[in-house]
Amino acid sequence: MVTGIMDAFNYIAIGISIAGSIIIIWGILITIFSLLIFEKDKIVNPKLANGSEVIRHKLGAYLLLGLDFTLAADIIHTIHNPVLKELYVLAMIVGIRSIINFFLLKELASIKSNKPDLQSG
């Protein structure tokens, strides 16, 4: 009975991790598509304003969301498999992802403060 519950939690954690990966991949695909459209428009109209900051902002948002999903999956997995080695690995992962999240959020805030009219672009 307990093994079945543990397996269920592991499958849930794997599903959440896959969802996080899909979010990141989806964000990258959208970014590539947006960049190609922007570059095409820039060739047609060279005076077009630089839209790469908005594109980077969108990618950063997808990366943050995907990282949050994968972090949640790692936490669920470690809670249900609390081996000391797993806890060390989780601590390193949380540390690295926290640093990545901090700098991504800082960059996104910087982009937003430089471009206050992001909604119309």
| Every domain of the chain and the residues it spans | 2-120
> Which single residue is written with the structure tokens 């119309």?
120
pLDDT at 86: 75
Q: What is the pTM of this model?
A: 0.71
> Please, which pLDDT band fits residue 2 given cuts at 50, 70 and 90?
low
User: In 3D, which of 20, 110, 106 has the Cα closest to residue 65?
Assistant: 20
> Which single residue is written with the structure tokens 């991504």?
104
Q: What is the pLDDT of residues 48-74, one digit of tens each?
A: 777 777 788 888 889 889 988 988 888
